[in-house]
Amino acid sequence: MRALNRVARAMLPRPWIPAARQLAVRAGLVRDQPLRYPFWETLHHYPSPRPHYRWGTLCAAFLARQLGYPRISVIEFGVAGGDGLLALEAVAAEAAAAAGIAIHVYGFDSGTGLTKPQDYRDLPQLWAEGDYKMDVARLKSRLKTAQLVLGPVAQTVPQFLAGGPAPIGFVVFDLDLYSSTMDAFGIFRAADEALLPRVTCYFDDIIGYSHSDFNGERLAIADFNRANEMRKISQIYGLRHALRLDQWWTDMMYMFHAFQHPRYQDFDGTNPWREIPLSG
């Protein structure tokens, strides 16, 4: 079976491998990979155009399965044209099948482009009001299961939480502005039942020229942490080493911690090494 996989990877163009493998699984020619954290084998052998979306969603699905949650939510803040939301929809279907749970996908956006930058914290040298408009009708025609949540994030987040969504397990933050990101952080002020105890996060705008600790998403993270004693957002350190991948996105993955969550201290299976016997 491994030899067959190696031959397929050698013969097929890399972008075709995920689709070809799904067809082989459905036909019973190969067995699906187990849902095994930290998923480095999946990332290496079956490349994805958005591995950060895939890894974050797999983490959420793995944690939900280990803790016994039957369904979860994954969210993209900042949809723009919609390629990211389509990718999230696809990887959510993959992760749901692997974990045996339901995954609901949501995309939050104004629908009319970026809001007006308020001050230096919003990086007005990079962004302008109306950037990244969405063709709403075209995107909706492409979506299969994901739901668009349109309007000002400061309003749509509380409305969304009031509707009782499945616990949130993965969030993409791609709103560009400090002010909009702070509004999106309202998702982390939800009641415990609306959140997994740890939520994997991807921050799109934290590296590159002009970005710093004192503006944009990095400043939003710092201000959120200062304002919340028992809920924190922290980078996942050393991820490129754990995944054996020297890729840019591994520096942009973070984790939200709800330390007082009733399930926070439950063993989650991410550490399989329970013994270190004496060598020799």
pLDDT at residue number 7: 59
220: Cα separation from own chain's centroid: 18
Q: Which two tokens stand for residue 263?
A: 């399930």
pLDDT at residue number 273: 83
Q: Which two tokens stand for residue 95?
A: 């992760």
Section 221-233 average pLDDT: 98
Closest CA to 195 of 225, 223, 224, 157: 157
Question: Which 3 state secondary structure label does DSSP give 13?
Answer: coil
Neighbouring-strand partners of residue 155: none
The pLDDT tens digits of the residues spanning 147-165 come to: 999 999 999 999 999 999 9
pLDDT > 90? residue 224? yes
Question: Which 3 state secondary structure label does DSSP give 134?
Answer: coil
Closest CA to 39 of 254, 226, 243: 243
Under 8 Å between Cβ of 102 and 70: yes
Q: What is the DSSP letter of 34?
A: P
17: Cα separation from own chain's centroid: 22
Compare 9 and 123 and report the one with higher pLDDT. 123
- Exposure of 89 in the CB half-sphere (CA atoms within 13 A): 17
Strand spans (E) along the chain = 71-77, 102-109, 147-150, 168-173, 195-203, 231-235, 253-258
What percent of the chain stands above pLDDT 90?
Answer: 80
Domain locations along the chain: 53-258
Under 8 Å between Cβ of 39 and 61: no
The CATH T-level fold of domain 53-258 is Rossmann fold (3.40.50)
Q: What is the mean pLDDT of the chain?
A: 91
The pLDDT tens digits of the residues spanning 84-112 come to: 999 999 999 999 999 999 999 999 999 99
Q: Give burial (CB, 10 Å; 0-12/13-18/19+) of 145.
A: exposed
